[in-house]
């Protein structure tokens, strides 16, 4: 019941097929959120120099996280029927680290994979395969185990995430095939936008190090959401979490705390997710076999200093040895 239908398949977002633009189809809450996000960022950059640097960094870090939540919405075909307009609405990457086009491609691959959490199939998996884990050294194991605590994920997770992403991008570009050309195009657009943002920051009274620190913190906050979005389970429905309480943190993530609902209906707009979940709550909890938390506070309390699970993936659908050695 709770699987994406053809019309809701996220792979259709960002494709070459464009629907005709219709004003009545515009999702104005998302438009307002995008405008507010950029408005606060520009206002803080040009008029926020009186705010103490630590507070400024936290505020813009939260705005950066909110920006990535909005990019996630855009990836899934919001807020208009024209994906070109959607993409343009988040072109200036105030999250800095990731090209929006590559964020889109890897995230849609995450949705399309039949094996969520499999480190070979799922580009958003934090698990390691058995062979790779067994080959890792003592220091690497310590770092990865620390990264599996919420404190570690917030502290060093952004560095690990960005470093891993960039290494993969270099490997793809090095292949010099059709996919490599798509990656180069995405990076070209991204770097163009980054140059514009860098010029804006240079014209502002805010030092660049503050902006860099806030961008890192933005990824750190984002990783709170992704920390236990998925767990490795034999049954597909049990792999995606529900965090029930609708709090400011949930709004920061545009209600992707209801992540099981998002994976089942990826084309539902963020502001409609809570009502949809409320209407089908028992069915969703049954579908994911109770992979439910009451709040983010409960997650912080349970996992801030404790690993949620082993780093090594407990099972793989494919022949991991052959894949690891290929």
Q: Stretch 61-85: mean pLDDT, rounded? A: 95
Q: Tell whether the model's pLDDT for residue 227 goes beyond 50.
A: yes
pLDDT for 164: 93
Q: Tell whether the model's pLDDT for residue 17 goes beyond 50.
A: no
Residue 227 lies in a domain: yes
Residue 246 lies in a domain: yes
Contact 49, 211 (CB under 8 A): no
pLDDT digits (tens, 9 = 90+) for 144-182: 999 999 999 999 999 999 999 999 999 999 988 888 999
Residue 296 lies in a domain: yes
Average pLDDT over the chain reads 89
Question: What residue numbers bound the domain in which 123 lies?
Answer: 7-12+23-324
Among 292, 294, 285, 283, smallest CA distance to 245 is for 294
Contact 91, 189 (CB under 8 A): yes
Q: How many domains does the chain have?
A: 1
Residue 17 lies in a domain: no
Q: Stretch 320-325: mean pLDDT, rounded? A: 48
pLDDT digits (tens, 9 = 90+) for 197-222: 999 999 999 999 999 999 999 999 99
* Lookup result for tokens 């943190």: 249
Count of alpha carbons within 13 Å of 270, Cβ hemisphere only?
28
CA distance 137 to 251: 40
- Predicted TM-score of the model (pTM): 0.88
> 170 exposed, middle or buried (CB, 10 Å; 0-12, 13-18, 19+)?
exposed
Residue 276 lies in a domain: yes
What confidence tier does 20 reach under pLDDT thresholds 50, 70, 90? low
CA distance 188 to 54: 32
CA distance 81 to 272: 17
Residue 18 lies in a domain: no
CA distance 217 to 146: 18
Contact 101, 190 (CB under 8 A): yes
Residue 190 lies in a domain: yes
Q: Stretch 237-258: mean pLDDT, rounded? A: 94
Q: Which residues pair with 243 in a beta bridge?
A: 293
Alpha carbon distances (Å) from 94 to 42, 101, 204, 214, 318: 10, 14, 15, 10, 38
What confidence tier does 95 reach under pLDDT thresholds 50, 70, 90? very high
What confidence tier does 283 reach under pLDDT thresholds 50, 70, 90? very high
Residue 2 lies in a domain: no
pLDDT for 14: 38
pLDDT for 179: 86
């Amino acid at each position: 019941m709770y699987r994406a239908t053809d019309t809701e398949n996220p792979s259709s977002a960002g494709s070459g097929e464009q629907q005709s633009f219709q004003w009545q189809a515009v999702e104005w809450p998302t438009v307002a959120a995008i405008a507010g996000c950029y408005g606060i960022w520009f206002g803080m950059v040009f008029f926020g120099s009186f705010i103490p640097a630590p507070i400024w960094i936290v505020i813009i870090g939260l705005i950066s996280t909110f920006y990535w939540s909005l990019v996630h919405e855009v990836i899934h075909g919001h807020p208009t029927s024209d994906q070109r307009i959607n993409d343009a609405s988040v072109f200036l990457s105030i999250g800095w680290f990731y090209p929006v086009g590559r964020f889109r491609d890897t995230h849609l691959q995450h949705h399309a994979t039949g094996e969520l959490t499999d480190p070979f199939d799922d580009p958003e998996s934090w698990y390691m395969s058995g062979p790779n884990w067994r080959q890792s050294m003592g220091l690497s194991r310590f770092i990865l185990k620390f990264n599996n605590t919420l404190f570690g994920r917030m502290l060093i997770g952004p560095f690990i995430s960005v470093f891993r992403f960039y290494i993969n991008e270099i490997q793809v570009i090095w292949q010099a095939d059709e996919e490599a050309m798509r990656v180069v195009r995405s990076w070209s657009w991204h770097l163009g936008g980054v140059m514009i943002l860098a010029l804006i920051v240079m014209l502002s009274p805010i030092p660049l190090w503050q902006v860099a620190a806030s961008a890192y913190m933005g990824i750190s906050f984002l990783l709170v959401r992704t920390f236990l979005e998925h767990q490795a389970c034999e049954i597909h429905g049990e792999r995606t979490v529900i965090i029930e309480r609708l709090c400011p943190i949930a709004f920061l993530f545009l209600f992707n705390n209801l992540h099981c609902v998002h994976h089942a209906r990826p084309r539902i707009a963020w502001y409609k997710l809570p009502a949809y979940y409320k209407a089908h709550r028992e069915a969703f909890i049954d579908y994911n076999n109770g992979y439910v938390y009451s709040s983010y506070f409960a997650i912080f309390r349970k996992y801030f200093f404790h690993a949620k699970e082993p780093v090594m993936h407990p099972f793989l659908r494919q022949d991991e040895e052959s894949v690891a050695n290929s």
